[in-house]
Structure formats: structure tokens, C-alpha cells
Amino acid sequence: MKGTILLNHTDDTKKVEEEEKTRFLRSILEEMGIPVQDFWTGETALSIDQRIKLRGILSTFGVQVIDDLDGRMQIWVSPEKGEEPQKVAEWHKCTYKLKRDLRQLDPRKQLYLEMEISCWSLFEEDPKEN
């Protein structure tokens, strides 16, 4: 899946990127049937206590989330002990394009960013099936 978010050039891109990545993680976990609604309410970032609780739940369900420092994230599931883990979702590093809208009269509003999001999951519909 790909998407684009328009941002002001002054917006905190790291914060927006983390919010989108968190939203993606939560949607995948809910799709897998992992009970996160009990302690993860809303679209806010998790507190330290909530993260500890999430780690325990993920360990119980055999789910591993690998979030690297470069902006990528992978979600893996180990179905049974001794079996190979299977990748169920992946968030790719976001890319940005600086654009200019000359129709804006205010020069501070002419510059904006396009944040391009690219992610994949097993739960997406295969376009070949339609």
C-alpha cells in the first residue's frame, strides 16, 4: 500500500512519521486478533507501562516487532515452536518531496512537503483477485 500525506514545510516530520507508523502497527495487531484495545486507547503514543504490557502480549502470541533506527519496521509471527517465523507486515522508510504552490499568495505557505508512505501486509487484498 502506498499513500501520500501533505505537510507544511515547518511541520515536525519525525513526529508525523512516528504517528503513522504507530497507527499502522496498531491496525496490523488488531487485524491479527491481538487484544490491544484494553490498554491502547486512541491514536496516541504508548507510555512506558503500556509498552511493557504490549511486549508481554506480543511475546504470548509469538509476535516480534523489529523497528530499526532508519525508519523501517517489520512484524514477524512464529506460529509454533521450532517453525520458521513468517513476516506478516512491513513499513518502509518514508520519502519526502519538497514542493512549491505558486497559487498561494503568502510566500510562507508556498512551500510544502509530500510525505510518501509505503507499507505491506498479508492482510491487504491482492489486486489480481479483483
Instruction: Please report whether residue 130 resides in a domain.
Output: no
Strands 95-100 and 86-91: unpaired
Higher pLDDT, 121 or 37: 121
In the structure, what pLDDT confidence band is assigned to residue 98 with cuts at 50, 70 and 90?
Answer: very high
Average pLDDT, the chain: 87
Among 83-92, 109-118, 119-128, which is the least confidently predicted range? 119-128
Domain extent at residue 54: 2-124
Number of domains within the chain:
1
Segment 21-26 shows an average pLDDT of: 90
Instruction: Please report whether residue 37 resides in a domain.
Output: yes
Backbone angles phi, psi at 100, to 5 degrees: -130, 130
Instruction: Please report whether residue 99 resides in a domain.
Output: yes
Higher pLDDT, 97 or 79: 97
Q: What is the pTM of this model?
A: 0.83
Instruction: Please report whether residue 15 resides in a domain.
Output: yes
Residue 126: per-residue pLDDT: 60
pLDDT score of 129 more than 70: no
